[in-house]
């Protein structure tokens, strides 16, 4: 069953989402923002300004999840203008960011991250990412710019929506099996095998 705003609020008060915004925010200091915070059946998390990396082409290299070369990623500069702080994801490229909010997922819940329509309509695809039962930390978020134009991704604003799905408690949670991505910091976490 998908969990609603009342349940999310109650669990946030127990530390499931921090910082927690109890309403859907569309303006900050009279400036329009891409919405973040609590919605009817989900929670829109924000992109942290602390870290965003873009895959770059290095001739002769192959991106390999079993032997990842961190040199294939380059840090993206945080820009700012009257619309806010943002990173630029070049056309037809792929980038990694990190959630501003820290999550602590209960043992009977799995979370799905899905893209927001504001970004989908400009060609930005957020990879569907799970946060398993018992997982905690700052999510590393994956984005693909499928458009032929460079794309702004705004920091401190909504970037993906979390959907909380309840099931029977599992026998082995992400925490109890000591998952390799447990307790991710507010920084992009690279692939681990």
Q: Is the pTM of this model over 0.85?
A: yes
Q: Is 134 among the domain residues?
A: yes
pLDDT for 73 equals 92
pLDDT for 45 equals 98
pLDDT for 59 equals 81
- pLDDT tens figures, 6-54: 999 999 999 999 999 999 999 999 999 999 999 999 999 999 999 999 9
- pLDDT tens figures, 171-183: 998 899 988 888 9
Q: What is the DSSP string of the chain?
A: -B--HHHHHHHHTTTSEES--SSEEEEETTEEEEEEEEETTEEEEEEEEEEEEEE---TT----TTS--GGGEEEPPPEEETTEEEEEE-TT-EEEEEESSEEE--TTEEEEEEE-HHHHTTTEEE--EEE-TT-EEPPEEEEEE-SSS-EEEETTSEEEEEEEEE-SPPSS-TTTTT-TTTTB-SSPPPP--
Q: Is 58 among the domain residues?
A: yes
Q: Is 25 among the domain residues?
A: yes
Q: Is 127 among the domain residues?
A: yes
104 counts as catalytic: no
Among 21, 101, 104, 142, the one annotated catalytic: 142
Q: Is 188 among the domain residues?
A: no
- Token pair, residue 35, equals 């919405």
Residue 90 is part of a domain; what is its CATH number? 2.70.40.10
What percentage of the chain reaches a pLDDT higher than 90? 83
Closest by CA to 106, choosing from 188, 21, 176, is: 176
Q: Is 173 among the domain residues?
A: no
Query: Band of the pLDDT at 191, cuts 50, 70, 90?
Result: confident
Q: Is 178 among the domain residues?
A: no
Domain containing 84: what range? 5-166
Supply the mean pLDDT for the chain.
Answer: 95
pLDDT for 174 equals 87
The total number of structural domains that make up the chain: 1
Q: Is 128 among the domain residues?
A: yes
- pLDDT tens figures, 37-47: 999 999 999 99
- pLDDT tens figures, 115-144: 999 999 999 999 988 999 999 999 999 999
């Amino acid at each position: 069953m998908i969990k609603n705003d009342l349940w999310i609020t109650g669990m946030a008060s127990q530390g499931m989402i921090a910082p927690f915004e109890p309403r859907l925010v569309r303006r900050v200091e009279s400036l329009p923002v891409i919405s973040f915070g609590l919605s009817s059946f989900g929670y829109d998390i924000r992109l942290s300004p602390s870290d965003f990396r873009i895959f770059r082409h290095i001739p002769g290299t192959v991106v390999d999840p079993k032997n990842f070369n961190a040199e294939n990623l380059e840090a993206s500069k945080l820009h700012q203008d009257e619309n806010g702080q943002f990173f630029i994801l070049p056309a037809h490229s792929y980038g990694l960011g990190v959630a501003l909010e820290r999550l602590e997922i209960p043992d009977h819940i799995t979370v799905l991250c899905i893209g927001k329509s504001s970004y989908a309509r400009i060609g930005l695809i957020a990879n569907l990412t799970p946060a398993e039962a018992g997982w905690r930390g700052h999510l590393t978020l994956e984005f693909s710019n499928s458009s032929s134009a460079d794309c702004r991704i705004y920091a401190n604003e909504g970037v993906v929506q979390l959907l909380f799905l309840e099931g029977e408690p599992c026998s082995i949670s992400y925490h109890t099996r000591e998952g390799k991505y447990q307790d991710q910091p507010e920084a992009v976490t690279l692939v681990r095998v």
